[in-house]
Chains A and B, each alone.
Chain A
Amino acid sequence: MKAYRTINHPHPHVDGLDKVTGKLQFMSDIRLPNMLWGKVLRSTAAHARIIKIDIDEALKVPGVKAVITAEDIDHPPLGPFIPDWQILARDKVIYKGQEVVAVAATTPRAAAEAIELIDVEYELLPPIFDTEAAMEKGAPLVYENRKDNIAFTFSVEQGDPEQGFLESEFVREEVFHTHGAFHAYLEPNGSLASYEINNDSCTIWAATQVPYKAQLLYAQGLRLSAERLRLIQVPMGGAFGGKFECNLHLVCAHLSRKARQPVRLVNTMAEEFETAPIRVPMSIRLKMGIKADGTIMAKDVTVIADNGARTNYGPAVTATACFRVDSLYRIPNVRALGHLVYTNNLPKGCMRGFGNPQMLFAVEGMLDMLAEDAGLTPQAIRLKNAYKNGEISIHGWEIGSCGLSECIKKAISASEWNAKKSKKIKTGSKVRGLGLGCCNHVSGYRPTFTDFDGSSARVLLSATGSITVYSGEVDMGQGYKTVLAQSVAEILGVPLGWVQVAAVDSLNMTLGIGSLASRGTVMGCNAACLAALEAREKLLTGLAELLNKEKAVLDIVDGKIIWGPEKEMSVPFHEMVQKLANTRAGGAIVGAGQYVPNTVNPDPVTKYGNPSPTYSFAAHVAEVEVDLETGQVEVVNYTAANDVGKAINPLLCQGQIEGGAVQGMGWALTEQLHIREGKLVNPNLLDYKIPSFADSFSITSLLVEEEDSNGPFGAKSLGEPAFNPVAAAICNAVYDAVGVRITSLPVKPEELLSAIKTKKENRLKSAPANEKE
């Protein structure tokens, strides 16, 4: 095995110092001279015609510099998937929280006061909140220019599902419901925009996961050519899928254009709850069949997903839910139909897992049910159907490396599954259970952006020998900058501390699709490695001439240029780069790298085709304690085995796994958006309960390194796979503890308690021999 000097070591975050000293500037910390403070007036109606907007009084507030409505904005149809965005509501509003009017003023107080004085007259229209009702003929239309409320339909069929069910020994059908969820990053979204009307150009500072995609969309929204719009990416205070292209940034830019001054527009947390692209809730009807030995024969699924009133990434999320899991287990006959439905609910979009956790909740629960029917263990049925290295899935996904079986075995062993299963642990009113959940995930997903796939990077050795790497992908706390710097340091042969990572700025960045689909490490580091290799080659070629040596005898190790039979001759790196630059009029050495993965846009009809260069896998075991008196579920131990290909940074991998486990527990057990008539009634962190220190639990994280030749140093993705199987594992553990199958998330103590009681009563009545204890 190759010994690495920098990668595969647990280096702390390269930007850790700025974070622990408070020097890292987030969006809301940036101030510009002459900067105005923006504020948005949002719709209080879920569905209504706008009769009149009166802004006269707002304009009279001292300090107010601009008030804009849809009348002030001209933009083409807009949106990352479906062009249904209105920057400010035009003619009608379609959800509570939609942007209607925006104000820019010299102080936050003046902006807030002006908002208070704006009068909007609505004529209420019948709203539609329920997805199934919205699909009915004659339902009120969210978009009157559409024939129905179906925003997007996905369908796929391979093999012969009917025949597969006929050949099955055990068949089950069940309906599962998953709920929406708020990302709950602690930094509300915002931006700063400076529009120059004299040459029609605009600079936007924004914390976005997708700077290049955002630049393209924002240019459209401002009717500028993209090169007139500069986008500067600002450090992100958490994102988890919530900080993609964002309408708020466009409102901010239009305010700046009208006011002719820079404008800062940052949401409050309550506004963030209403505007973040929350997780797409789904109703999942799932039918699966297996043979007596556990071989999966067929899967048929129908998904109805709530898009809310505006489309973000819902179409891709729905597609993901429909068929990604078919490349986790070998299933010869599959059919899926997914409808993404417009309602007057809050807009939905992507959140960590992108539809995969929703379907895994259903499929992993179903597998445990079928395993029980067949008298198999949860691990046996999964091992039976797990993909192996080099297989091609039914949808043409080329699974280069697959550590799924290894993950299952490790998680089972480390969680002491067999020992714990052999005796039922009960303490007072609390009973324990174990549950297994598995997942796969992509490392970048070709269909999310049709223009190109892959990533590019530059490595610049300046005349003084400083090393800077430029990439268009984004660090959002996961540690992308760190693994990028590690990759470059490894290739160049220099200490990690010498490598700086440039801020993402559209003026100097190589275009990056961004940090989504768990693509950062695989795409970005692959490109950076190529760039570093080119820089190294150029440097050694120059030095060979300067030192009058054969290039082949030169090497760079630990920041020294070395040669000689015993590698005993050495000269310092910086000094030599400087000398070389002096012979070239101070010219820097630039290495450029383009990584173009061998992926395809799957066929539009059959959906066949390989969309990602590598696939990652995981198996998690949750141990829960269910209180039989209260119905409360608590995770007491958690074991996560993730196939990461190669751990470029084991410390950061551990951070992703631990964070994913606790976030996943929140989705399964503690978090719930309470919505009444389209209005979110708990838009705050008091009533929307994300896990706190008190809810955290003991986590054992295990790294399985099933290297993939398409990954940088063999690495694969981890961000989303750390989250994907958590809710499934927890709910399977609840079943193991109390024999109640959770089919609707989140687990509600009162419902669980009543299900436990019903079960007990039924058992007393009938006492069947095969009931679970």
Chain B
Amino acid sequence: MTEISLIINNEQSHFQVPVNMRLIDLLREECQLFSVKVGCEEGECGACTVLLNGQAVNSCLMLACEADGGTIITLEGLCSEEGKLHPLQDAFIQKGAAQCGFCTPGMILAAKALLDENPAPTDSEINQGMAGNFCRCTGYTAIRRAIRAAARQEVNK
């Protein structure tokens, strides 16, 4: 067991974890953050994507102790403090970008990481930046529309 501390969704937390515990298991089983989805469990589908220090990571490929000292955002922590939806969340609803919804948490977080780095991506930059997140329902078109819509709102600020 090893002791780690993390800031998860703006809250400082300390954990005693087995060294071989995956980050996804810490977030789901210890923190009950079930927006972090268990998909392929080998870093292909992106359903388990979380933000670690602002970067999108596959929480199934990472050990909890590797994240020690880091700041993690899951979808539960994306709304504003007043509970208002993030523009990406709003855009995903409006554009029909969430069909079954299983890839959606990881998809929105990956899109946030993309927009944080590149506030006005082109379609090909979106395709490249989001290539680690699979969706089987939408064919990606609606998701691109949502990301573009969210980007415009942020750019206009």
Specify whether A and B are partners. Answer: yes
Bound Cα distance A476, B35 (Å): 18
A663 touches B139 (CB 8 A): yes
- B39 proximal to A (CB < 8 A): yes
A13 touches B98 (CB 8 A): yes
Task: Decide yes or no: A684 and B44 within 8 Å by CB, A12-B94, A660-B139 being known contacts.
Answer: yes
Task: Decide yes or no: A20 and B136 within 8 Å by CB, A185-B100, A235-B101 being known contacts.
Answer: no
B67 contacts across to A, CB distance below 8 A: none
B127 contacts across to A, CB distance below 8 A: 693-694, 696
A240 contacts across to B, CB distance below 8 A: 136
Task: Decide yes or no: A13 and B100 within 8 Å by CB, A21-B89, A184-B136, A693-B126 being known contacts.
Answer: no
B39 touches A22 (CB 8 A): no
Among the listed B37, B45, B128, B142, which residue makes an inter-chain contact with A658, where contact means beta carbons less than 8 Å apart? Answer: B142
Task: Decide yes or no: A21 and B85 within 8 Å by CB, A658-B139, A659-B99 being known contacts.
Answer: yes
A659 touches B138 (CB 8 A): yes
| Shortest Cβ distance from B47 into A: residue | A186
A-B Cβ contacts below 8 A, count = 173
A15 contacts across to B, CB distance below 8 A: 101
Counting chain A residues whose Cβ lies within 8 A of the other chain, the interface size class is: 35 or more
Bound Cα distance A238, B135 (Å): 9
B100 touches A20 (CB 8 A): no
Bound Cα distance A439, B102 (Å): 29
A186 touches B128 (CB 8 A): no
B44 touches A686 (CB 8 A): yes
Task: Decide yes or no: A658 and B141 within 8 Å by CB, A184-B136, A477-B101, A690-B134 being known contacts.
Answer: yes
B105 touches A186 (CB 8 A): no
A24 contacts across to B, CB distance below 8 A: 101
Bound Cα distance A26, B98 (Å): 14
- A661 proximal to B (CB < 8 A): yes
Bound Cα distance A21, B131 (Å): 22
Task: Decide yes or no: A186 and B93 within 8 Å by CB, A20-B108, A235-B101, A659-B138 being known contacts.
Answer: no
Bound Cα distance A23, B105 (Å): 10
B137 touches A659 (CB 8 A): yes
A187 contacts across to B, CB distance below 8 A: 37, 39, 47, 100, 102
Q: Among the listed stretches A166-174, A544-552, A647-655, A743-751, which one makes contact with chain B, having 4 or more residues with CB under 8 Å of it?
A: A647-655
| Shortest Cβ distance from B128 into A: residue | A694
* Binary A-proximity of B64-76 (CB < 8 A = 1, otherwise 0): 0000000000111
Q: Which of B34-69 contact A (CB under 8 A)?
A: 34-35, 37-42, 44-45, 47
Q: Tell me if B's interface is mostly helix, strand, loop or mixed.
A: loop
B102 contacts across to A, CB distance below 8 A: 26, 185-187, 237-238, 477
- B6 proximal to A (CB < 8 A): no
B85 contacts across to A, CB distance below 8 A: 20-21
Among the listed B41, B93, B130, which residue makes an inter-chain contact with A17, where contact means beta carbons less than 8 Å apart? Answer: B93
Bound Cα distance A94, B33 (Å): 40
A690 contacts across to B, CB distance below 8 A: 134, 136
Bound Cα distance A19, B140 (Å): 16
A22 touches B98 (CB 8 A): no
Q: Which of A450-500 contact B (CB under 8 A)?
A: 476-479
B128 touches A22 (CB 8 A): no
Among the listed B40, B94, B98, which residue makes an inter-chain contact with A685, where contact means beta carbons less than 8 Å apart? Answer: B40
Among the listed B90, B105, B133, B144, which residue makes an inter-chain contact with A22, where contact means beta carbons less than 8 Å apart? Answer: B105
B136 touches A693 (CB 8 A): no
B134 touches A685 (CB 8 A): yes
Task: Decide yes or no: A694 and B131 within 8 Å by CB, A26-B37, A654-B96 being known contacts.
Answer: yes
- A163 proximal to B (CB < 8 A): no
Task: Decide yes or no: A692 and B100 within 8 Å by CB, A662-B140, A684-B44, A685-B40 being known contacts.
Answer: no
- A118 proximal to B (CB < 8 A): no
Q: Which residues of A contact B (CB under 8 A)?
A: 10, 12-13, 15-26, 28-29, 183-188, 235-240, 266, 268-269, 476-479, 651-652, 654-655, 658-663, 684-686, 690-694, 696, 699
- Give me 18 A-to-B residue pairs in the complex whose CB atoms sit less than 8 angstroms apart, sorted by A's number: A12-B96, A15-B101, A16-B98, A21-B35, A21-B85, A22-B104, A185-B102, A185-B136, A237-B37, A238-B136, A476-B100, A477-B137, A655-B99, A658-B142, A659-B137, A661-B139, A685-B134, A694-B127
Q: Which residues of B contact A (CB under 8 A)?
A: 28, 33-35, 37-42, 44-45, 47, 74-76, 78-79, 85, 88-90, 92-96, 98-105, 108, 126-128, 130-131, 133-144
Q: When A and B form their complex, which 10 residue pairs have the shortest distance between CB atoms, in order from nearest?
A: A22-B35, A477-B100, A237-B102, A19-B101, A662-B139, A22-B75, A16-B93, A477-B99, A685-B44, A658-B139
- Given A237-B37, A477-B99, 10 more pairs with CB closer than 8 A: A22-B33, A26-B37, A184-B134, A186-B45, A187-B39, A239-B100, A478-B99, A659-B137, A686-B42, A690-B136
